[in-house]
Structure 1
Amino acid sequence: MKKLLSKDPVQLLSGAQIAVKTLERLGVELCFAYPGGSAVEFHQALADSAIRVVLPRHEQGGAFAAGGYARATGKIGVCMATSGPGATNLLTGIADAWMDSVPVVIITGQVEAGLIGKNAFQETDIIGMSRPIVKHSYLVLDPAEIGATIVAAFALAGSGRPGPVWIDIPKNVQKAVAEFHFDPGMPPGRENARQAVRPEEIAAVKRAIARARRPCIYAGGGVIAAGAAEELRRFAEGYGIPVATSLMGIGAFPETHPLSLKFFGMHGSYCANYAVNECDLLLVFGARFADRSTGDAKTFAAGARIVHIDVDASEINKNVPVDLGIVADLKAVLTALNRTPEPVPHPEWLEMVRRWKKMHPFAYRPEPGRLKAQQVIDALYRRTGGRAIIVPGVGQHQMWAAQYFQYTRPRQLLTSGGLGSMGFGLPAAVGAKLALPEELVINIDGDGSFQMNIQELGTIAAEEIGVKMIILNNRHLGMVAQIEDLFYQGKRGNTDLRTKAEASFPKFAGIANAYGIPARDVYHPAELEAALDEMLASPGPFLLDCHTVYQDHVLPMIPGGKSYREMITG
């Protein structure tokens, strides 16, 4: 044994130490982790590690922050929690990552293995609860398997279609001692090779383009995940085809480009919705035909030949039947198509698209002396030169942020698309700013969405995170109230956040000040630009509470389940 140790020392570590050491070897520099009885061992090991631990003020905040980190960088976000309520508090943030294909690895403590299934204190079947919202989940019962499990989880989270992977480790397994080994090789049988592009598929796509007279591109979040934004730009320019994105695809194609139609769907642009539905060839790149994009799927792009390219075979023909489905790495497909572009002029089609743009641009009507949410975002775009990373919450403000800011690069708009989770914005912005400290990261939020994870102001203060925060404060749940106005004769069903005494409505600037964060209220349009400049000049975090008009609608709007021809434009 002595001879073996002198030649090849065996490192004996606890299960928790093996977990942390493996994370270090995988290059993890940041972890969002909240302690608890079944996670003490992890935190003791982290205390001796170079990994930066950011303590969220709620586990849901930690999950959203890990997702924000991953969305901003494409790297894998990491969050940790204890068993029972700690683990269940993560679920909403992980469901959000699942719906938007965001790579996150979750590590939770569990009660001792011998107590599992016995309703022990703070025991929940988190593997069963999380199974529908993760790519895979692991319950590790042998400390010798911890390292390999974490390596496998990272490989799976980041490969193919990205997504979250959950690892649950009982407390006794965290304490038990085993040899530490690190093998970074990807385990066999787990998406370790992307499907190759076949020449006949490339030829088929080119034939479809050559036959088309009204082609259009539908670019989804898969373009960004594949790192294929530059290839998409070259493709659109080389073939002369206009580009509409989904909400999750925003930034995949520069919105200042002449071929950009911005995003389409329920609150997307008029021209994008019409172009996608009136085209005769729809090239779908890395998108899933979500209902908020298609409206009535039976009538979506009804006269078009549809080509769908995606890394996930399960998405082909799932929501909308297609004429040609290709399962492959999108970047490789676009690279092959770009080698010998064969553009076909479509002057009449491009002129029609230009007319749609001119007929119904995103527009709002200013009200003298009253601040409008669209006005705030429009001014923010001008004052920043469009260079900020925008992280909205969910609601009307989210749609206005998508409409009135121009996005020119991938990962510039980080938003909760599939789940549409209120409370996303503030903690996700924390994760994004920690990932990219030199970037200007701005959380645009609503008063309702902001309050759902307002406790993360504590994280911002304690960690000195320079996130800028703009609350578009209309004092009610604007998106649901809009639905009430349009379809329920304006009858309010608990969407008004004001109390009988208006003065008791939360003073967000005062709350921020209580955490030591500078803040300012804005009530009048004349105050807006100076307030934005003050926020942008502040070296650290800053909160701007913009008191906007009480009642306004996000337009255009395609009612749920309806077609683009039933779009409400005014």
Structure 2
Amino acid sequence: MQHTHVKSNHISGQKSSGSTIFAQPTGSLVLSSHEQSSQSEPTQLTVADTVVKMLEDLGVRHAFGVSGGAIASLWASLEHSVIEVLHFRHETGAGFAAIESYFANNRPVVVFTTTGPGITNMLTGLFAARWEGAKVIFLSPATSAPQRGRWAFQETSSYTMPSELFCNSGSLFHYATSIESGEELPEIARRLAAGLARPGGFVAHLSVPTTIQSSLLKASLPRVTFSQTLTTAGEDAIAKSVQLLSEGPFAIWVGFGARGAAEEIRQLAERTGSAVMSSPRGKGIFPENHPQYLGVTGFGGHNSVVKYMQDISPGRILVLGTRLGEFTSFWSPAMVPKKGFVHVDIDPEVPGTAYPSVETFSIQSDVQVFVKALLKYFPNRPGNCPVLPNPQRVPLLPQAEGPVRPDVLMDTIQRVFVEKSDAVVMTEAGNSFAWRTHTLRFTKPGRYRVSTGFGSMGHAATGILGAALVQNNKAVAILGDGAMLMNSEVSTAVKYQIPAVWIVLNDSRYNMCTQGMALLGFKGVDTQMSPVDFVAIARGMGADGIRVESETDLQAVLEKALASKIPFVVDVIIDPTQTAPFGSRIQSLIEQGAKETNK
């Protein structure tokens, strides 16, 4: 047996520019190759069969995509494997579903397309996977060598597409290669195993020319397995963190990257009396009904966070697993503590980036491992916690007349889907995101998902299929009518009987654009859409649904959606005049130059 060891040593020092101090991790990755006995007769497998077997061994159990003639051999091999293959109506929707299936069960997932527009249609989903930190392997065909440059149908080669799509790592793929021979597969298997074992996300692309897919392997492929050691900070970094955090009261800022450390973060907060705030993606990691919870920061966030920073203002903030990007912080100076940040993230490039001029002690580590180490230095007793501002909300009483107010809809979703079920709740970019972030309350991690990085419309509408499928449970998308028209995959949910629910905020317009443009001072901008009956569309595809035009009907309809055994659309006619709780989004846009000027 052969072993390859990749090891990083602990290094600590001062960053060459700015004021961020880096404490890098120790960790190791072990890859093992198991060759078949030389006495055994090798099985004659095609390259396509071998690629699929390699993916099975790496833990892949689901593949999402849209097939075509150029990928016929790979498609057939997938269909005859243990991997469940799901055909979608659009490649982008397949990509979003793949991302959410990964976050639902932490298994690497495959997406697949045919040549040409199949690949370009998948790019949005792949960029989202990279931004979200998912582990996704993209399988696509390419035009075979003898036909390249001759205007083959949907030609896919360096003559017609950028070469970085096929063989270069960079801002989209962590690893990409074009397979031109079966002899390359052992090295490809090793690189995929190493990538999947790395902390954080991993997006790879295997481009397989049509002719190569059906070619026979000359030798058996060695089996590649891997083990993962979590990235951890050294003892000197832990000790320095303890020293900095012990100098006075500190707050904790929790992001999506801390989702595996919910219990440890709660213990740390209670032992130290620290106030806790979360990014929009971090909702529910720290219980939102806890007396030490300040609220959500950024887009759709709470004034209680701003009040805390103004009135109490901690000496430092311990940042756990968030990039502190625009939708989390708006880069606001009001969110900067007096003595700076202690910032923990699995990605060493994250700390110090959002606030480059602020003193930051940076630690590359798995958040759970770091907080567990930190707990050893704090006594197991309740901390001295001041009275903290908390998000306050008084639910509104339903009215029998008029369109549905968005905040009343959110109150009903809270009662039915959040408190009476364990359904995953997702929301789209736009007003639905602002209303949901500001209004709904979660007390456990894993119940809520949103994309605040790439933020593509259609992510929640189709992502719920992946989450519901792998968990065999309800998943709910809260979205606007614009996103529902863009990409919803209701037909796919019907085919595979996936228990998805779409709650559509229907106001016949892109209302975030309407309200945002008005607040920025722009006049006469057309964001209207023709009225749409989403229930009629859903029923036409084999799903069920109900239109809601009165607040008094909401409870019964949402309960019916929750109980439904088939995909269900709730088409809610909402009041378009209520301004969504954007937080400081408009001010951030103005500071970036998006404002009406006198001409």
TM range (shorter): 0.7 to 0.9
Deviation, structure 1 residue 138: 2.0
Deviation, structure 1 residue 119: 5.5
Would the aligned equivalents of 1:232 and 1:334 in 2 still touch at CA under 8 Å?
A: yes
Determine what percentage of the aligned residue pairs are the same residue.
25
Alignment partners' CA distance in 2, 1:363 and 1:205? 41
What residue ranges of structure 2 are gaps of 5+ in the alignment?
Answer: 1-35, 592-599
Alignment partners' CA distance in 2, 1:141 and 1:64? 29
**Which one is further off, 508-517 or 251-260?**
251-260
User: What amino acid does structure 2 have at the position aligned with 1:528?
Assistant: L
More strand by share: 2
Deviation, structure 1 residue 545: 0.5
SS of the aligned residue for 2:93 comes to helix
Alignment partners' CA distance in 2, 1:357 and 1:37? 55
Would the aligned equivalents of 1:429 and 1:467 in 2 still touch at CA under 8 Å?
A: yes
User: In 2 relative to 1, CA 376–341 (structure 1 residues): closer, same or farther, beyond 3 Å?
Assistant: same
Deviation, structure 1 residue 337: 0.8
Within a 5 Å distance, the mapping from 1:520-531 to structure 2 comes to 520-531=546-557
The aligned counterpart of 1:449 is: 483
The aligned counterpart of 1:166 is: 205
TM-score by length of 2: 0.84
Would the aligned equivalents of 1:19 and 1:147 in 2 still touch at CA under 8 Å?
A: no
Deviation, structure 1 residue 7: 3.3
Alignment partners' CA distance in 2, 1:357 and 1:393? 22
User: What amino acid does structure 2 have at the position aligned with 1:507?
Assistant: D
**Which of 367, 376, 381 in structure 2 is aligned with 1:330?**
367
Would the aligned equivalents of 1:279 and 1:301 in 2 still touch at CA under 8 Å?
A: no
Deviation, structure 1 residue 562: 4.2
Deviation, structure 1 residue 25: 2.2
Alignment partners' CA distance in 1, 2:247 and 2:38? 71
SS of the aligned residue for 1:407 comes to coil
The aligned counterpart of 1:288 is: 323
User: In 2 relative to 1, CA 357–541 (structure 1 residues): closer, same or farther, beyond 3 Å?
Assistant: closer
Alignment partners' CA distance in 2, 1:362 and 1:292? 25
The aligned counterpart of 1:546 is: 572
More helix by share: 1
The aligned counterpart of 2:526 is: 494
Within a 5 Å distance, the mapping from 1:159-558 to structure 2 comes to 159-178=198-217, 179-186=219-226, 194-213=230-249, 215-224=250-259, 227-275=260-308, 278-296=313-331, 300-301=335-336, 303-321=338-356, 322-342=359-379, 350-351=386-387, 353-354=388-389, 357=391, 361=393, 369-370=401-402, 371-384=404-417, 385=419, 387-437=422-472, 439-454=473-488, 456-489=489-522, 491-498=523-530, 505-555=531-581, 557-558=583-584
User: In 2 relative to 1, CA 297–401 (structure 1 residues): closer, same or farther, beyond 3 Å?
Assistant: closer
Alignment partners' CA distance in 1, 2:381 and 2:306? 23
Measured against aligned partners, the alpha-carbon deviations of 1:396-426 in whole angstroms (never above 9, x if no partner) come to 1122222222122222112121011101122
SS of the aligned residue for 1:534 comes to helix
**Which one is further off, 530-539 or 515-524?**
530-539
Deviation, structure 1 residue 276: 5.3
Deviation, structure 1 residue 47: 2.9
Measured against aligned partners, the alpha-carbon deviations of 1:68-126 in whole angstroms (never above 9, x if no partner) come to 10122222222111121101111111111111212211111111134456664321536
Alignment partners' CA distance in 2, 1:254 and 1:30? 32
Measured against aligned partners, the alpha-carbon deviations of 1:422-467 in whole angstroms (never above 9, x if no partner) come to 0112210001111110x2211111100111113x111111111111
User: What amino acid does structure 2 have at the position aligned with 1:246?
Assistant: S
Alignment partners' CA distance in 1, 2:163 and 2:99? 20
**Which of 144, 159, 164 in structure 1 is aligned with 2:183?**
144
Alignment partners' CA distance in 2, 1:313 and 1:513? 49
SS of the aligned residue for 2:101 comes to helix
The aligned counterpart of 1:568 is: none
User: In 2 relative to 1, CA 282–148 (structure 1 residues): closer, same or farther, beyond 3 Å?
Assistant: same
TM-score by length of 1: 0.88
Would the aligned equivalents of 1:269 and 1:556 in 2 still touch at CA under 8 Å?
A: no
User: In 2 relative to 1, CA 165–369 (structure 1 residues): closer, same or farther, beyond 3 Å?
Assistant: same
The aligned counterpart of 2:117 is: 85
User: In 2 relative to 1, CA 288–152 (structure 1 residues): closer, same or farther, beyond 3 Å?
Assistant: same
What residue ranges of structure 1 are gaps of 5+ in the alignment?
Answer: 499-504, 566-570
The aligned counterpart of 2:56 is: 24
**Which one is further off, 542-551 or 407-416?**
407-416
Deviation, structure 1 residue 54: 0.5
Deviation, structure 1 residue 303: 2.5
Would the aligned equivalents of 1:256 and 1:406 in 2 still touch at CA under 8 Å?
A: yes
- The answer to whether the aligner puts 1:58 opposite 2:90 as a matched pair is yes
User: In 2 relative to 1, CA 76–6 (structure 1 residues): closer, same or farther, beyond 3 Å?
Assistant: closer
Would the aligned equivalents of 1:22 and 1:182 in 2 still touch at CA under 8 Å?
A: no
Alignment partners' CA distance in 2, 1:346 and 1:562? 36
The aligned counterpart of 1:501 is: none
User: In 2 relative to 1, CA 81–9 (structure 1 residues): closer, same or farther, beyond 3 Å?
Assistant: same
SS of the aligned residue for 2:452 comes to coil
Deviation, structure 1 residue 319: 2.1
User: In 2 relative to 1, CA 298–382 (structure 1 residues): closer, same or farther, beyond 3 Å?
Assistant: closer
Deviation, structure 1 residue 143: 1.7
Would the aligned equivalents of 2:429 and 2:451 in 1 still touch at CA under 8 Å?
A: yes
User: What amino acid does structure 2 have at the position aligned with 1:149?
Assistant: I
The aligned counterpart of 1:502 is: none
Measured against aligned partners, the alpha-carbon deviations of 1:135-174 in whole angstroms (never above 9, x if no partner) come to 2222222223236525532541452221322221111221
**Which of 135, 139, 142 in structure 1 is aligned with 2:174?**
135
Would the aligned equivalents of 1:285 and 1:310 in 2 still touch at CA under 8 Å?
A: yes
User: In 2 relative to 1, CA 218–10 (structure 1 residues): closer, same or farther, beyond 3 Å?
Assistant: same
Measured against aligned partners, the alpha-carbon deviations of 1:296-325 in whole angstroms (never above 9, x if no partner) come to 455641534211111111112222134311
User: What amino acid does structure 2 have at the position aligned with 1:453?
Assistant: N
User: In 2 relative to 1, CA 102–335 (structure 1 residues): closer, same or farther, beyond 3 Å?
Assistant: same
